[in-house]
């Protein structure tokens, strides 16, 4: 059985679409609502390392205190950025999906299809109606 974890925000359409595509592959993931249960600093550092992205790449600007905290300052260290994410979990971009084939920030949501070990079982369209998977389970884009 494939073990998948998603760091999820149910208020985010991209996160909801990603979760739905995971479930469309007949897998029920472990869902961590990261605003209620934020990852520890150690876990967040591990996730970033496993994604192979800079810390700054995981910062969310829209709908967060990014600007008021001055996080756009390129001189800020990774530790300072991590401190901000620990103090304000809303700054952590989502959804982050963890599975045996890798860890990925799934923005856009269909990026999850690159690391899902099992095929989509049925057609899938995002909440906005955009078709992503056809009736045979094939990715459309």
For the chain (141 residues), the mean pLDDT of every run of 10, in chain order, is: 91 97 95 97 97 96 96 97 97 95 94 91 95 92 75
Q: Could you tell me the residue range of the domain that residue 44 belongs to?
A: 5-133
Residue 138 lies in a domain: no
**What 3-state DSSP class applies to 132?**
strand
Cα–Cα distance, 123 to 4 (Å, whole number): 21
Residue 53 lies in a domain: yes
Residue 95 lies in a domain: yes
In what helix (H) or strand (E) does residue 41 lie, and over which residues does it extend? helix 41-51
Predicted pLDDT at 55: 97
pTM of the model: 0.93
Which one, of 67, 47, 65, lies nearest residue 57 by Cα? 47
CATH code, domain with 67: 3.40.30.10
Q: How many domains does one find in the chain?
A: 1
Residue 89 lies in a domain: yes
Annotated active-site residue in 12, 32, 47, 99 = 12
CA dihedral sign, ordered 30, 40, 51, 88: positive
Q: Parallel, antiparallel, or unpaired: how do β-strands 30-33 and 5-8 relate?
A: parallel
Q: Are 97 and 112 in contact (CB under 8 A)?
A: yes
Residue 139 lies in a domain: no
Tokens 């999850």 sit on residue: 112
| 12 catalytic per annotation | yes
Residue 141 lies in a domain: no
Cα–Cα distance, 69 to 81 (Å, whole number): 10
SS3 content of the chain, % helix, strand, coil (to 5): 30, 15, 50
Residue 97 lies in a domain: yes
Predicted pLDDT at 1: 65
Which one, of 118, 125, 109, 133, lies nearest residue 6 by Cα? 109
Residue 67 lies in a domain: yes
Predicted pLDDT at 128: 96
Predicted pLDDT at 2: 73
Beta-strand ranges (E) seen in the chain are 5-8, 30-33, 96-99, 102-105, 124-125, 131-133
């Amino acid at each position: 059985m494939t073990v998948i974890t998603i760091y999820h925000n149910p208020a985010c359409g991209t996160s909801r679409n990603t979760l739905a595509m995971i479930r469309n592959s007949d897998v029920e993931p472990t869902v961590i609502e990261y605003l209620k249960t934020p990852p520890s600093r150690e876990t967040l550092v591990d996730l970033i390392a496993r994604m192979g992205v800079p810390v700054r790449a995981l910062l969310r600007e829209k709908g967060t205190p990014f600007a008021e905290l001055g996080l756009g300052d390129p001189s800020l260290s990774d530790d300072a950025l991590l401190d901000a994410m620990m103090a304000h979990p809303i700054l952590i971009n989502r959804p982050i999906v963890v599975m045996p084939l890798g860890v990925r920030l799934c923005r856009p949501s269909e990026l999850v299809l690159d690391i899902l070990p099992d095929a989509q079982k049925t057609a899938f369209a995002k909440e906005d109606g955009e078709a992503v998977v056809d009736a045979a389970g094939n990715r459309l884009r």
